[in-house]
Amino acid sequence: MTPRTEHRPQMSVEEFEELERHAPENVRLEFIRGKVQVKPVTDGNHDQIIAWLQRLCMQHRPELWLYGDRGMKVERYRNGRARPDGVLAPFGFPVGHADWSEAEGVLMAVEVTSHDSATHQRDRVEKPEGYAAAGIPVYLLIDRDACSVIVFSQPEEGRYRREEKLPFGATVKLPDPVDITLDTEPLKEYVD
């Protein structure tokens, strides 16, 4: 049997969207590399990290908003569907969008690792590829397992050309077009 890939998906994007519409409220589904994935429900520390980042983004760039759990069309030709933990975009970005937004106008996608077996493949491998292919300028990965922040930038041909990994506690400069500096010391409190 041939393995499923983005070239031989488990189902069509339309079939996935129909499945996702009927999923229970506490189940978050994504469609990455042609396969359906269940995204873990977040814990309190995960939610606090997103709140921390949302507050900083508001303070430094009040014209932007960090939208949580916004459905995004990702990957080449927008055949993937992801629900980043955060999407930084101009305030009002999702107005008029249905369940899945195009990436145009998004400045940064954010993921916070969950404590499940699929985290490595999903957040460290597949998401950077999908977000880069969609042209999202910055991908911020807050890696609770490694106690580090990874900033991916300069998307080109489906890959981020630049990747910077810094430990929790470091000062992290998010590059243009985000242009925000983060003091990541508070993240040490949210590792469980």
Cα–Cα dist 86/46, whole Å: 11
Q: Give pLDDT tens digits for 27-49.
A: 777 788 888 888 767 788 999 99
Q: Give pLDDT tens digits for 151-189.
A: 999 999 989 999 999 999 999 999 999 999 999 999 999
Long-range contact list for 41-47, CB < 8 A, 24+ apart?
42/85, 42/112, 42/114, 43/114, 43/115, 43/192, 45/144, 45/190, 45/191, 45/192, 46/85, 46/112, 46/114, 46/144, 46/190
What domains can be seen in the chain, in order of their start residue?
Answer: 43-190 (3.90.1570.10)
pTM comes to 0.85
pLDDT for the residue numbered 6? 46
Task: Tell me whether residue 77 is exposed, middle or buried, using C-beta atoms within 10 angstroms of its C-beta: 0 to 12, 13 to 18, 19 or more.
Answer: exposed
Q: Is the pLDDT of residue 58 over 60?
A: yes
Categorize the per-residue pLDDT at 120 as very low, low, confident or very high, splitting at 50, 70 and 90: low
pLDDT for the residue numbered 36? 81
Cα–Cα dist 101/183, whole Å: 30
> In what helix (H) or strand (E) does residue 53 lie, and over which residues does it extend?
helix 44-60
Q: Give pLDDT tens digits for 9-27.
A: 778 888 888 888 888 877 7
Per the CB < 8 A criterion, the answer to whether 57 and 67 are in contact is: no
